[in-house]
Amino acid sequence: MGIIASVYETNINETLEYYTTIPFWIFLFQASYFILFVALMKLSFHVKQQAFKWLNTAVISLLLVFSYNQFSDWNYAYKFRFYPVLFYSEFDRMNDLYLEQRDFLNQSANVPSQWDIQSFMPKYKNYILIIGESMRKDYMSLYGFPLKTTPFLERVKGTVFENYYSAAPNTQPSLQLTLYRAEKGETVYTDNIISLAKKAGVKTYWISNQGKIGEFDTIASRIGQSADETIFMKPLGYNSKKVYDDEMLPVLDKALKENISNSKLIVIHLIGSHPAFL
């Protein structure tokens, strides 16, 4: 489903960037497959009708024989394991599942969270959560990379986690699994990190360099929309202007200096290591 979500929630710049990472031979193979299909269709018109009829019957018979086990277990579209129908049936099922989850997200915006705060005694005045993007551990000198790419992290006092992994290979499912509460394998869309902090009386900030696309149409933007303060560096979308992540520092500084009695949770969503944005 991550690929489906990426199609819906990714702008044209990031889509083009993604295509540049796909090996050229894959596009060549797909083009060859299509050309072969067209050639066979044209060839079929030049084959004698009777011969083509027998050939067609033989091909269908072979397909039925080799796909018997798949057809015998038919129950729903996703159990139709015969390729290429499998690809389209899986795509359709994942598309429906994604749209269903997106509807749940939109509906949950007007529903109170289910968090039950027993006690909250904050140790710090400010809590800052930085959400990276496309950052690899093996390119950080903190974890042994030979170039000094993370000098600040190496000298600052803190706890370094060695074995933290992204919850999913794509942005949308990774954020969903990380920032939302799940119960028995199902996402509770009203309960996320922002609604938890607000329930505890913490003032929340969402500072994003990801851009605000449409009417908060990404999963990260929907969470950000519910924060007390929401700041998008690119209010018109990714391609509205070029903004580097360090330009969020003055916004962060302003949030830190705001004089309030409550604790603060400041979430910063980076554009990160996307090649086309560096």
> Tens digit of pLDDT for each residue in 239-263?
556 788 999 999 999 999 999 999 9
Q: Hey, what are 62's tokens?
A: 């072979």
> Tens digit of pLDDT for each residue in 69-80?
544 444 444 445
Diameter of the chain measured on Cα atoms: 87
List Cβ neighbours of 12 (8 Å cut-off, separation of 6 or more).
239
Domain locations in the chain as residue ranges: 2-107, 120-277
Q: Count the neighbouring beta carbons within 10 Å of the beta carbon of residue 245.
A: 19
- The larger pLDDT score, comparing residue 26 to residue 278, is at 26
> Tens digit of pLDDT for each residue in 146-168?
999 999 999 998 889 888 888 88
Q: Which fold has domain 120-277?
A: Alkaline Phosphatase, subunit A (3.40.720)
Give the pLDDT band (50/70/90) at residue 129: very high
Whether the Cβ atoms of residue 226 and residue 194 lie closer than 8 Å to each other: yes
As a whole number of angstroms, the distance between CA 181 and CA 177 comes to: 8
Q: Which residue matches tokens 């009695």?
A: 261
